[in-house]
């Protein structure tokens, strides 16, 4: 695509997802907490009202010119909805507290929360509605769900969950049924509120956590069932986990986009899914904290050179959430780099080889 006019973010992203080159590579800067600093609020205060998140998201996009809005609050909001504790810290995302399931047998009596009446989820839906009212169809709004398969890490703790998966198959299946109902309802409520697509966070399915054969028996089947019932496009994200061994399988779950870890080579992943599934990634959000602006530019160029050609790629971080500690000059440099070097066609790549 070589149109002279600048596309809207929505047009740019849709074209990329059709595996075609848009005016430039789309850029998802998932700054979920930096809006608090922009508004002069603590992270806890920031997430206390939907209006703060709306204002924070709009200001971040005005500043960094990225191609999405993300009314995601924090991952532990889902376990908060189930009655769990959320622990705030001053310099990072709120974390989940004591697991809500202390004994596996409690799964038999577990009831999912109502997404329409649970206060913390209503805030997210309100933020989504407000953002949609502001940007209409010009900017994709990305809703977020934890996958039914990964939510149990917060519901019952990782160790107990691994043991449940491996040793208590009947209770595992029961938990998946309950979580799938919640996940589908939560995703569809966000789509109804104005989200364009849903990011399906599924770190436990990553090959960093479980082997492929285990994934095919568990997380893969859960994802297929769940994504089929979500009324909109999905992107599957492994939150820094590796996806290489399962990349072709993930494409069969019905998802449109896959997040790539910073520990993986984008070019080799692109070669597996070119024309089939788009890639999102894979700037190292943790290391980004100490990058210089010059290094940030070089990292962007590296990612574009590996995966930008031919569309099917959205530049983003590898985790789905930029750490609060990443300085603004680095974020600005990322933005400037993708606006400079991400413009199609990417002829400069040939010149640098």
Residues that bind other proteins (CB under 8 A): 87, 89, 91-93, 95-99, 153, 157-159, 162, 165-166, 207-211, 214, 240, 242, 244-245, 262-263, 284-287, 289-290, 323-325
Report helix angle 119-135 to 50-64, nearest 10.
40
Nearer to other proteins, 131 or 246 (CB): 246
Q: How far is the CB of 178 from other proteins (least distance, A)?
A: 21
Measured CA distances, 59 to 31, 39, 63, 123, 218 (Å): 11, 9, 6, 19, 40
Q: How far is the CB of 187 from other proteins (least distance, A)?
A: 24
CB of 197 closer than 8 Å to CB of 142: yes
Nearer to other proteins, 159 or 352 (CB): 159
DSSP 69: B
Nearer to other proteins, 190 or 218 (CB): 218
| CA-angle at 184, arms to 110 and 186, nearest 5° | 80
CB of 183 closer than 8 Å to CB of 160: no
Q: How far is the CB of 349 from other proteins (least distance, A)?
A: 26
Identify the CA nearest to 8 among candidates 65, 63, 72, 70.
65
Residue 264, C-beta contacts closer than 8 angstroms, at least 6 positions apart = 242, 243, 244, 282
Nearer to other proteins, 193 or 210 (CB): 210
Q: Give the three-state DSSP class for 119.
A: helix
d(CA 331, CA 335): 6
DSSP 281: E
Q: How far is the CB of 302 from other proteins (least distance, A)?
A: 16
Q: How far is the CB of 105 from other proteins (least distance, A)?
A: 20
Nearer to other proteins, 90 or 352 (CB): 90
Cβ count within 10 A of residue 329: 12
Measured CA distances, 210 to 102, 213, 245 (Å): 23, 8, 11
Identify the CA nearest to 313 among candidates 29, 66, 17, 64.
17
Q: How far is the CB of 321 from other proteins (least distance, A)?
A: 10
Q: How far is the CB of 303 from other proteins (least distance, A)?
A: 16
Nearer to other proteins, 54 or 283 (CB): 283
Q: How far is the CB of 174 from other proteins (least distance, A)?
A: 20
Q: What are phi and psi of 93, to 5 degrees?
A: -70, 145
Nearer to other proteins, 285 or 308 (CB): 285
Nearer to other proteins, 291 or 341 (CB): 291
Cβ count within 10 A of residue 131: 24
* Element containing residue 178 per DSSP (H, E): helix 169-193
Nearer to other proteins, 290 or 294 (CB): 290
Q: How far is the CB of 121 from other proteins (least distance, A)?
A: 21
């Amino acid at each position: 695509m070589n149109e002279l006019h600048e596309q809207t973010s929505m047009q740019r992203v849709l074209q990329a997802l059709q595996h075609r080159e848009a005016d430039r590579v789309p850029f998802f800067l998932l700054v979920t907490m930096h809006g608090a600093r922009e508004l002069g609020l603590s992270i806890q205060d920031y997430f206390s009202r939907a209006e703060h998140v709306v204002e924070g998201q709009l200001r971040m996009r005005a500043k960094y010119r990225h191609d999405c809005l993300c009314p995601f609050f924090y991952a532990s909001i889902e376990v908060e909805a189930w009655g769990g504790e959320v622990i705030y810290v001053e310099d990072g995302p709120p974390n989940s507290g004591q697991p809500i399931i202390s004994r596996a047998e409690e799964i038999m009596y577990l009831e999912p929360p109502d997404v329409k009446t649970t206060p913390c989820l209503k805030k997210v839906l309100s933020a989504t509605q407000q953002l949609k009212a502001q940007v209409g169809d010009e900017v994709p709004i990305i809703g977020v769900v934890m996958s039914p398969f990964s939510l149990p890490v917060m519901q019952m703790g990782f160790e107990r969950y691994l043991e449940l998966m491996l040793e208590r198959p009947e209770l595992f299946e029961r938990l998946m049924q309950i979580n799938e109902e919640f996940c589908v309802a939560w995703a569809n409520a966000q789509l109804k509120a104005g989200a364009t697509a849903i990011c399906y966070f599924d770190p436990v399915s990553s090959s960093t956590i479980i082997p492929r054969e285990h994934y095919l028996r568990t997380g893969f089947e859960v994802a297929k069932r769940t994504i089929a019932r979500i009324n909109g496009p999905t992107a599957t994200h492994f939150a820094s986990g590796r996806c290489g061994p399962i990349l072709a399988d993930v494409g069969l779950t019905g998802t449109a986009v896959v997040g790539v870890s910073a520990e993986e080579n984008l070019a080799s992943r692109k070669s597996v899914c070119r024309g089939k599934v788009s890639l999102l990634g894979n700037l190292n959000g943790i290391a980004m904290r100490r990058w210089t602006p010059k290094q940030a530019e070089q990292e962007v160029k590296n990612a574009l050179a590996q995966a930008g050609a031919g569309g099917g790629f959205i530049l983003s971080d590898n985790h789905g959430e930029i750490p609060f500690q990443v300085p603004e000059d680095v974020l600005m440099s990322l933005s400037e780099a993708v606006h400079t070097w991400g413009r199609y066609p990417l002829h400069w790549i040939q010149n640098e080889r």
